[in-house]
């Protein structure tokens, strides 16, 4: 209970912004050359500023974020391993644009192909992986559009897995930010996106990151560039400072240099004006409850998920925790809900989650129950 008391005192002293106060118009926030843009805070998905964010536009190689996501999800499911080998088809080897010049029947492992997509935006690697996973490029594109629907990407339609210009192939700044957030949930992502230069094919071929912010912007973590005649210069850039990760999407910037400047302007604006406060961590106990009929008499409860609150630095308000603990009876399994945690500001709930036990509690034997009963009487 000491942790709870300490946390309560700290929270009373901690000042944070009400969520309703973080809406800022694009005109007030920044001025960019990009036709469409959006800045999002990653953990909450809150949009900090945007312009033409739902407008459908060509997205060039930012398309590859969906290709990457499907690869990562196949890895998570165990359907794919980084050490699996992939044989390049004639279709893959015939790709133009950015590539690693796969030859027909060349064999390469998934790790290297994924690295070449993340770092060098290799179109041929996208085709090789698409065919390996789905059997054909067309079948993989179907999966891309299905997943877009599941993620609520209402402005997005995929015609290919690489992003070369094709009629009807489009997305929006808002959809791309949402997709970027999903990709960044995979811890493995930054293993690839933070690579500046690396050699493959036994050191004979060098990959150089197309995202120059990785080298020149403090806290940059990713994510994906894109450039075609229809799309202009595009970028989904991610960066993290002081525990807050931002996603800046710019579409149709006039030049390569300007897209990086536009993204930097968005990221600078976010880090200058906003902060992220951790209200509750998953490894922090918020109470101890008795367990009826359990071999263990009490058990600690923890937040089911971490609670963070995005705050605009200029406007502040107190956030106070309220803890509700339930009656617990053995047997208990790890993950069982035994309470509720809420944080309120100005009388409104700004964050809430369930409190759970993280360890199992076995039910005591019949004779132990009798013994406990006899102690009472």
Q: Which residues have CB under 8 Å from 224's CB, separation 6+? A: 61, 62, 64, 65, 68, 118, 121, 180, 211, 235, 236
Give the contacts of 209 (CB within 8 A, at least 6 positions apart): 119, 120, 193, 195, 196, 197, 215
Cα separation, 211 vs 240, in Å, equals: 15
Tokens of 145: 């559009």
Select which of 51, 64, 212, 304 is catalytic. 64
Q: How far is CA 39 from CA 1, 33, 137, 265, in A?
A: 40, 15, 32, 10
Catalytic site residue from 58, 61, 98, 253: 61
Within a 13 Å sphere around the CA of 209, how many CA atoms are in the beta-carbon half?
21
Question: How far apart (Å, rounded) are the C-alpha atoms in residues 273 and 311?
Answer: 8
**Catalytic residue (one of 36, 58, 89, 121):** 121
64 is catalytic: yes
Integer angstrom CA distances of residue 123 from 104, 228, 274, 275: 14, 13, 37, 38
Q: Is 25 a catalytic site residue? A: no
Active-site residues: which are they? 61, 64, 121
């Amino acid at each position: 209970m000491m942790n709870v008391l300490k946390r309560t005192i700290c929270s009373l002293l901690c000042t944070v912004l009400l969520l309703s106060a973080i809406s800022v118009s694009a005109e007030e926030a920044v001025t960019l050359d990009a036709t469409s843009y959006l800045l999002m805070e990653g953990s909450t998905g809150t949009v900090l500023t945007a312009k033409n964010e739902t407008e459908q536009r060509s997205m060039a190689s930012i398309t590859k974020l969906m290709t990457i996501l499907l690869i990562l999800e196949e890895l998570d499911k165990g359907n794919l391993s980084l050490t699996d080998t992939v044989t390049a088809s004639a279709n893959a080897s015939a790709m133009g644009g950015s590539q690693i010049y796969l030859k027909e029947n060349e064999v390469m492992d998934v790790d290297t192909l994924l690295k070449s997509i993340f770092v060098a935006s290799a179109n041929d690697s996208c085709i090789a992986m698409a065919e390996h996973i789905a059997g054909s490029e067309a079948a993989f594109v179907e999966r891309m559009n299905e997943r877009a629907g599941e993620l609520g990407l209402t402005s997005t339609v995929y015609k290919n897995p690489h992003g070369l210009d094709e009629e009807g192939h489009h997305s929006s700044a808002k959809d791309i930010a949402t997709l970027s957030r999903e990709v960044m949930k995979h811890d493995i992502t930054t293993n690839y996106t933070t690579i500046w230069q690396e050699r493959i094919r036994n050191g004979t071929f060098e990959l150089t990151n197309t995202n120059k912010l990785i080298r020149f912007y403090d806290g940059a973590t990713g994510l994906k560039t894109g450039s075609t005649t229809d799309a202009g210069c595009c970028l989904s850039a991610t960066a993290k400072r002081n525990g807050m990760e931002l996603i800046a999407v710019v579409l149709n910037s006039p030049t390569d240099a300007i897209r990086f400047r536009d993204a930097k302007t968005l990221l600078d604006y976010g880090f200058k004006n906003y902060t992220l406060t951790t209200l509750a961590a998953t490894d922090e106990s918020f109470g101890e409850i008795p367990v009826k009929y359990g071999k263990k008499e009490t058990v600690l409860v923890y937040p089911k998920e971490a609670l963070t609150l995005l705050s605009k630095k200029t406007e502040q308000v107190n956030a106070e925790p309220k803890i509700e603990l339930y009656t617990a009876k053995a047997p208990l399994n790890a993950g069982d809900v035994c309470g509720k945690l809420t944080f309120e500001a100005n009388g409104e709930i700004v964050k809430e989650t369930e409190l759970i036990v993280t360890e199992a509690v076995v039910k005591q034997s019949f004779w132990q129950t009798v013994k406990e009963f006899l102690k009472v009487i």
